[in-house]
Structure 1
Amino acid sequence: MNQPIAHYKNHRFPPEIIARAVWLYYRFPLSLRHVEEMLLERGIAVSYETIRRWGRKHGPDYARRIRRKSPSGNDVWYLDEVAVRINGRKCWLWRAVDQDGYVLDEIVQNRRNTKAARRLLTRLLKKQGLLPKRMVTDKLRSYGAAKRQVMPGVEHRSHKGLNNRAENSHVPFRKREHMRQGFRSIGSLQHFVSLFSAVRNLFVPDHTKSSANQIRNHRLQAMAQWKAVSGHIV
């Protein structure tokens, strides 16, 4: 890593404990209290509120340091949106994944219209730096209108059955949403999904890694990178 390591000045606990607590919370379907109990079993007495603060402070820094998958002109973008209720009010989590199920970007918005779809596409182009080979969505017309404005030359396939990759990407999030018993604000939702997907991208192998040895090696490499981005080598 060329970036400076994470800073832990004035923390009572060593970096490896902080990084492990954040990893446990964002990698597995655990509540903050579950993580608190798991650490206590190891003789580490820390409150769930402290673990929450660690995630708020260090999580975004970890996510920025995780090495992203290199974009390709042969990538296919699968786009979808899912409704999330925050304090009784409906908002929309817009998500884009590639052909391997890798989460490219997520954005929480109040609307489900062309302006919201255009904002997602604009963010994607800025992050990826390359146009995709193809874009696949459900039959929401806002996607087609936004595509014509942002990247008119890209092929667009609009079909409910072709968009399973994007729809399946919502499943892990829904499990975490249930575990958390919802979100209190759009900001907390955006913060959570940005970290959750970055960690998931790192640890979940793509479909080309199918053997037990390939999956094990992928996880070992992911663990080594996590230790590097969190500023400690064990």
Structure 2
Amino acid sequence: LVTQFGEPKVVVTDKLRGYTKPVQALAPDADHRAHKGLNNRIENSHRPTRKREKIMGRFKSPRQAQRFLPAHDQINTVFRPRRYTLPAASYRRARADAFGLWNDYTGEMNA
């Protein structure tokens, strides 16, 4: 990124001390701001992880969450295909297929 866009003037990271040396090595003249609340796109990329942590807070133990979340993620990926990678018609077809599969599975379980 430094070779493509040039050296940054400011680098914002969270308060992890391990970032200090790499930032100084890659951009020695940049102002390194270690602050949790600043608008940091790198840290915002962890949103799915943070969302899972929030969900985990509703469980009684980390073990219970670890048992639930992998199964939930598999089902979630079936019902929520990545919209930004699909045209609208393909997205609608994928959602219809997912709900069709779900109806078949639940029908078998109730029969």
TM-score range, shorter chain: 0.3 to 0.5
Indicate the structure with greater strand content. Answer: 1
If you compute each CA radius of gyration, which structure gives the higher value, 1 or 2? 2
Structure scoring higher RCO (CA < 8 A, sep ≥ 6) equals 1
Q: TM-score, normalised by structure 2?
A: 0.44
Q: TM-score, normalised by structure 1?
A: 0.23
